[in-house]
Structure 1
Amino acid sequence: MSKKPYDKLIEDLLVFIKSRHYVHAKDIPNIELYMDQVTTFMDDHLGLFKRTEEEKILTKTMINNYSKCDILPPTAKKKYGHDHLILLLFVYYFKNILSIPDIKKLLDPVKDIVMKDKSPLSMEAFLDRIMETQTMHFDSLANQVNHTVKVGKDLFPEFSDAEREKLSIFTTAYLLTIQATAQKHMATQLIDNYLTKHPSKEAGQKPKAPRPKKPDTSRPEVRKKTPKKPIS
């Protein structure tokens, strides 16, 4: 069975990704879940992102590490509620691109603002609003990716069909990767410039000058003897 042309594969992937039902608040169970139930929920709802069947979406070790890093709030009797699951969804979307410290910097304001008492927006409403924005964003993403594929196909007309296809696949993969790299750089710059705390800058203070080194008193100071002048 022959493989489909790679541009058709990209087209099918875009349709598949856009048509998939991403997790909304109504999909989250109304009961608190134990760890095994959490990992099963994530596998069931985020399985489309797996590269192989053996790949795990989130493991118990990962979730425990997120708790130790204060990305997740404490659980009640080892049960995970709506807020935990919503945070884990965002962690999964972030973790292939951003470091754990960066993820924490992004989620800390969400926890402080949206999860606070008397917040005008619940975490469920926050999730749904983000998902709606994501769906609209996929239209522009599809146009961008289709343009990238066309550029890759038209770049090497002097080669044979088989050679041109391999070079076009390289070019398309390269352009997709460099776009992802540039977007990652922009995301990390936002984090570094607006969500990373710089104590001396935030307090409006100048960085402290280094303290002068104290003299070494562990050994007694040896005074140089002044040579006596000869008596004339």
Structure 2
Amino acid sequence: MENINQIIEQLGLEASLALDEIPQIDLYMDQVIQLFENKFTDTKRNDDDKVLTKTMINNYAKGKLIFPIHNKKYSKEHLILMSLIYQLKGALSINDIKVTLQGINQKIIKEEMELDSFYTSYLNLTRQNVEDFKVDIEERVKDVREEITEDEKGNSPYLEQVLMISSLVHMSNLYRKVAEKLVDDITVEKEAKRHK
């Protein structure tokens, strides 16, 4: 696992759509797709993968993950929501994302929310998460190496890699489960308000 730092550098972990990169004018679908492809191309696992497609955008609209568009154009707020969806769909189901973003969509429609401020907070947290992640990965590499027994040393590189993969997937599952429980709490809160 000598190449773990190279792997991390290739992941595009810092890729995000900054507020000053979002045009102040509404964009057509093809322009939105091009913006996302340019911005998030380094985050793709394979070159053939698509960051965003017409079908995805249409499904987000039909599924009410984003508030309705006007004149076939997407506003700054739509782009912010699509950026959030892009990140959330790595761990959550489309239905969980809808539940998570439903309140934000309603606040946007009612003009009760300054989405720029919320998104800035989100970007600040993601930057800190990347820094924390880099430190954590180094600790995990050390922990994995310590777990390899003397008998396993001959197969060490392969076994280290399998242990690292297993450890990372386990951590990912732990974080995802907490996120899903928080989504469930949103649903429970909505149900409780409905019955009052």
Equivalenced residue count is 196
**What is the letter of the counterpart of residue 110 of structure 1?**
I
State the Cα distance separating 1:202 from its structure 2 match.
Answer: 4.9
Higher relative contact order (Cα pairs below 8 Å, separated by 6+ residues): 2
State the Cα distance separating 1:22 from its structure 2 match.
Answer: 2.3
State the Cα distance separating 1:141 from its structure 2 match.
Answer: 1.8
- Larger proportion of helix: 2
Aligned sequence identity (%): 26
Alpha-carbon distance between aligned partners in 2 of 1:142 and 1:115, rounded to the nearest angstrom: 38
Q: Answer yes or no: is the 8 Å Cα contact 1:18–1:138 preserved in 2.
A: no
Q: Answer yes or no: is the 8 Å Cα contact 2:66–2:78 preserved in 1.
A: yes
Deviations 1:136-169 (A, max 9, x none): 2222222222111111122224246551110000
The 10-residue stretch of structure 1 (145-154 or 64-73) with the greater mean CA deviation from structure 2: 145-154
> Would the alpha carbon gap of residues 28 and 164 (structure 1) be closer, same or farther in structure 2, given more than 3 Å must change?
same
Task: Kindly indicate whether residue 100 of structure 2 is the aligned counterpart of residue 106 of structure 1.
Answer: yes
Q: Answer yes or no: is the 8 Å Cα contact 1:18–1:135 preserved in 2.
A: no
3-state SS in 2 of match to 1:23: coil
Q: Please provide the CA RMSD for this pair.
A: 2.3
Q: Which runs of 5+ in 2 are unaligned?
A: none
> Would the alpha carbon gap of residues 90 and 84 (structure 1) be closer, same or farther in structure 2, given more than 3 Å must change?
same
Task: Kindly indicate whether residue 91 of structure 2 is the aligned counterpart of residue 97 of structure 1.
Answer: yes
- Pairing 1:183-194 to 2, within 5 Å after superposition: 183-194=175-186
Q: Which runs of 5+ in 1 are unaligned?
A: 1-5, 205-232
Task: Kindly indicate whether residue 160 of structure 2 is the aligned counterpart of residue 168 of structure 1.
Answer: yes
**What is the letter of the counterpart of residue 95 of structure 1?**
K
Q: Answer yes or no: is the 8 Å Cα contact 1:66–1:72 preserved in 2.
A: yes
Paired residue for 2:143, among 148, 151, 158?
A: 151
- Pairing 1:1-232 to 2, within 5 Å after superposition: 6-7=1-2, 9-15=3-9, 20-113=14-107, 116-119=110-113, 122-159=114-151, 163-196=155-188, 199=191, 202-203=194-195
Give the TM-score of the pair, scaled to structure 2. Answer: 0.89
Deviations 1:176-210 (A, max 9, x none): 00000011000001111233467478526xxxxxx
The 10-residue stretch of structure 1 (189-198 or 96-105) with the greater mean CA deviation from structure 2: 189-198
3-state SS in 1 of match to 2:27: coil
Specify the structure having the higher radius of gyration (Cα). 1
Alpha-carbon distance between aligned partners in 2 of 1:170 and 1:178, rounded to the nearest angstrom: 12
Structure 1 runs (4+) greater than 6 angstroms displaced? none
Give the TM-score of the pair, scaled to structure 1. Answer: 0.76
